[in-house]
Structure formats: structure tokens, C-alpha cells
Amino acid sequence: MDTAPNLVLIGPMGAGKSSIGKRLAERFGLAFVDADREVETQTGVSIATIFDCEGEAGFRERERSVLAKLLDGRDQLIATGGGAVLDAESRALMRRHGFVVHLHVDVDGQLQRLARCTNRPLLQREDREEVLRVLAAAREPLYAETADLRFDTRDLSPADATSLLTKLL
Ligand code: S3P
């Protein structure tokens, strides 16, 4: 990853993109940026509110433009939202301007980690497991296509995942 301008984390909700990302950024002396938080800073409202007012399509548009701007910079560790890979142009930009790491966790791992999560709009339904399985089936090929490296975070603490990744990168 030496020559890539940025380190980009992709992967499903609960994979550890933010918790591992913050630690990795510190290890590598990169600025940590969370694309979801950038969207919230720019709009002044939560992602849940954006989904309520503009629907998922509105959020995706904002996510795409925030990512394009971030990827124009360098020396950043960019943690993306789980659905950022849905957009073909974003996928191309991530590959062009970053070394892309897919943090993987399976649906059982997601259910454990997200059990107390109340602020993710896509998890507001009763049938969380089914929702997560449908999302995983649709997105796994996109994560695979975009990533330079795949790393399974299941059963690893953020600190342990970070130590292992530091050796791999
Ligand atoms: C989403 C994941 C979230 C956030 C939004 C939509 C998704 O980010 O972007 O709620 O489509 O999987 P995290 O992956 O950081 O939870």
C-alpha cells in the first residue's frame, strides 16, 4: 500500500471500519475520516434524518459526493459506509485513489455486534437477520471486486485486528 494516496476501508455494518480504522490511522500516521460522519457534518443532521427526509437514494447521492471529495485528498484513512460500494463510480475512485481493505464479518457476527445499535436506518425492522443476509448477498461481490485485501474481523477485538492488519499492510 506504500504508493497509494489513501487507505480505504469497506465492508458491512459492524465489521469494525471505524473502531479498527481509528487505530490503524494512528499506527500509520494517517488522518482518520469517517465518510458517514462527514455526511452528517455537511448536512448538520443525522443519517437517520437524511433517510427519513430524502430516502436512501438521497443519502446515497450525498455519500457519493462526500467520497469523491475525500478521495481527491491524500494521507487519509477513509472509513466508508457499508453501502458505499453500491455506486460504480465510487468503487472506481476508491481503487484509483486508495489501497482498499475489505473488513469482513459474517451475519452472525454482525447480529452480535449490532445487537444494541438503534441508529442505523437499515436495521430498523424486526427481521434484522434477513435484512443483513439480503444485503450481504448483494454486496459481497462488490466488496470482493473493489478490495485489494480481505480481512475477517470475526472473533477479533479492534486492537487485535489492528495489530494483525498492521503486519499485513
Ligand atoms: C449503511 C451503513 C452505514 C451508513 C448507513 C447505510 C449501509 O454505515 O452508511 O446507515 O447501507 O450498509 P456503517 O457501515 O458504518 O454502519
The position carrying cell 455519500 is: 63
Binding-site residue ranges for ATP: 14-19, 120
Give the chain's largest Cα–Cα span.
45
Average pLDDT score, the chain: 96
Produce one character per residue of 4-33: b if its CB has 16 or more CB atoms within 10 Å, e if not: eebbbbbbbbbbbbebbbebbbeeeebebb
The position carrying cell 454482525 is: 110
Query: Checking DSSP bridges between strand 99-104 and strand 149-152, what pairing results, if any?
Result: parallel
Binding-site residue ranges for substrate: 36, 60, 82, 139
The binding-site residues of ligand 1, defined as CB within 6 angstroms of any ligand atom, are 13, 17, 36, 47, 81-83, 120-122
pLDDT above 90: residue 101:
yes
Output the CA 9–ligand 1 centroid distance in Å.
Answer: 12
Q: Which tens digits make up the pLDDT trace of 28-81?
A: 999 999 999 999 999 999 999 999 999 999 999 999 999 999 999 999 999 999
* Contact in structure between 26 and 49 (CB atoms under 8 Å): no
Instruction: Report the predicted TM-score, pTM, of the whole model to 2 decimal places.
Output: 0.97
CATH architecture of 6-162: 3-Layer(aba) Sandwich (3.40)
Q: Which tens digits make up the pLDDT trace of 114-129?
A: 988 888 999 888 899 9
Would you give the DSSP letter of residue 18? H
pLDDT above 70: residue 2:
no
Predicted interface score ipTM higher than 0.95: yes
Nearest 5°: phi and psi at 100?
A: -105, 125
* Contact in structure between 80 and 17 (CB atoms under 8 Å): yes
* Contact in structure between 3 and 27 (CB atoms under 8 Å): no
